[in-house]
Structure 1
Amino acid sequence: MNPWAVEPVCTPACAKNARNAKNAASGVPLPEAVRRYASVAGTVIHSAAAGKRLAGPETLRAEAGAVLTALGIRLDLEQDIGLGQEQRQGQGQESLTVPGPTGTLVVANHISWLDVVVLLAIEPVTLLAKREVGAWPVIGTLARRIGTRFIDREGLRELPSTVAELARTLRSGQSVMVFPQGTTWCSVPGGTFRRATFQAAVDAGAPVRPVTIDYFQQGVPSTVAGFLGDEGFATSLRRVVGARELSVRVTTHRPLTGGDRRSLAAEAQRAVSGSRAPAHA
């Protein structure tokens, strides 16, 4: 099995399932959609004008937050404190990383291109992304400016050097954000966590922070933000722009340490998915 490549199961149709069909149909009025497009464009222009300053954590956090605001998306943060309880945190009061001599390997489920913007709006860290992301409008530009590490998911020969580079980054004290499911899925459980990037945490003696990303529309679990199959970025952006009362909830779970990459990947996936049933068999 290729540790990078994943055969996509979800299709664009998954973003229009019965759970959010009513909400998707009752989108925002045209004037509001136009305003959002204009606001997003203005934010991207402002980010591009920031130049090298965009790589600064505070600037990057502010620009990512501005993109969410422009799209009308509310960000909610929660911390999993165990025993089935969750403590609501206010925006900007939570951290993805774990204090210590090394960086943190932040691992999250992957639903949308919005995931990157959402996590950067909480705490900017180095990203590991598929090579195609670099060519995306808006997201690709921001990703290149902040020093994202791009990988070829079909290139097995790149695997050892990529893992070694990630381990060096973690040892240096920099944190790295990865999406170990390998591709986007319509809901949290998605696919199996690939183990390759967890080896970098083992080699560096770095903690792993599992993070769950959930999207809601009018308070109901929604797939409207999903970026699925061979769907184009413009189509996905249009659906997000038109979504009424779209929100995203980010839940951080206790950090994981010790063990091998197999056990870390399995434990991280259990933390992220919780008791949710898989979206696909």
Structure 2
Amino acid sequence: MKTVRSTVRFTLLFLLSFGIYGLWLLLSFVIPNKVYWRQLIFELWSRGFLRIAGIEVEVIGSPPQPPFFLVSNHLGYIDIPVIRSVVPGVFVAKHDIGDWPLVGRMITNMGTIFVNRDRRKSIPIAGEKVIDRLSQGEGVIVFPEGTSTKGESVLPFNSSFLEFAARSDVPVSFLSISYRTPPGEPPPSESVCWWDDTPFIKHLLGMFGVSRFTAILNFGDQPITDPDRKQLAARLHSNVSGSFIPML
């Protein structure tokens, strides 16, 4: 049963992704407001992904309204459609994702800001792009842990991701994300979080085998500002950790 479910869901996701991307390419030449069109397509894809995968989203608190700069803990690729289904924005991602065949091109066209953590010059360049997105009225979401985890705890935040926010006095909103699977299914740390060396397609098919699960988004009440990037990172980490629900 799980194999059949995985196959059907994977096929539906393939059709959804390339169908919506084809629509994006076709109409992007005639629709003048590219930002609006890109955000609409991204939202349609995200909501479609959740329906196909059987994901329910539980929201605690009030999501920020764009433009905003938002940080979150990171548990895997599924965080992206889950968060995007609730708040309109673009993501900051590792540069190598942009090199993925086909998918990398699609992600790039959805306004993703890429950063190479191994090159110090890449981070301030990404910061300039974040400022540009904010000035266009968009939201920007970043995962300052720098990697995904299995959900035992929230890793320390990399303050370099927040340098531009500290220097520019940009208010930083925050949220914690957790997952819950129903009785009889593998725990989310094994079935939903993508933190080990499992190939992407293999993990995706395994996740699609889960009948349904819940994503819990807990938004902070007030954004945080701090001119010191390390203090800003520490304060944000403390708040995100305080509302995070471990997945043991």
TM over 0.5: yes
Specify every segment of 5 or more residues in structure 2 that has no aligned partner in the other structure, as ranges. Answer: 29-35
CA distance in 2, matches of 1:126, 1:245: 26
CA contact (8 A) 1:109 1:189 kept: no
Report deviation, 1:132.
1.9
Q: 1:243 to 1:267 in 2, by over 3 A?
A: same
Of 140, 149, 158, the residue aligned with 2:122 is 158
Q: 1:162 to 1:75 in 2, by over 3 A?
A: same
Name the TM-score, length of structure 1 as normaliser.
0.74
Q: Are 2:193 and 1:226 aligned?
A: yes
Report deviation, 1:57.
2.4
Pairs within 5 Å for 1:109-128:
109-128=73-92
Of 59, 67, 80, the residue aligned with 1:77 is 59
Counterpart amino acid of residue 56 in structure 1:
R
CA distance in 1, matches of 2:215, 2:105: 23
CA distance in 2, matches of 1:229, 1:203: 35
Report deviation, 1:228.
1.6
CA deviation digits over 1:123-176, x for unaligned, max 9?
221211001222346753442121211111211232333334333443554321
CA deviation digits over 1:56-108, x for unaligned, max 9?
323321211101111121122111xxxxxxxxxxxxxx53336xxxx321100
Q: Kindly tell me the number of residue pairs found equivalent between the two proteins.
A: 235
Q: Are 2:50 and 1:38 aligned?
A: no
CA distance in 1, matches of 2:196, 2:160: 23
Pairs within 5 Å for 1:77-96:
77-79=59-61, 95-96=63-64
Is the partner of 1:107 in helix, strand or coil? Answer: strand
Specify every segment of 5 or more residues in structure 1 that has no aligned partner in the other structure, as ranges. Answer: 1-27, 80-93
CA distance in 2, matches of 1:249, 1:188: 15
Structure having the higher helix fraction is: 2
Pairs within 5 Å for 1:136-175:
136=100, 140-175=104-139
Identity %: 21
CA RMSD of aligned residues (A): 2.7
Of 56, 59, 63, the residue aligned with 2:41 is 59
Q: Which has the higher mean CA deviation after the structures are superposed, 118-127 or 196-205?
A: 196-205
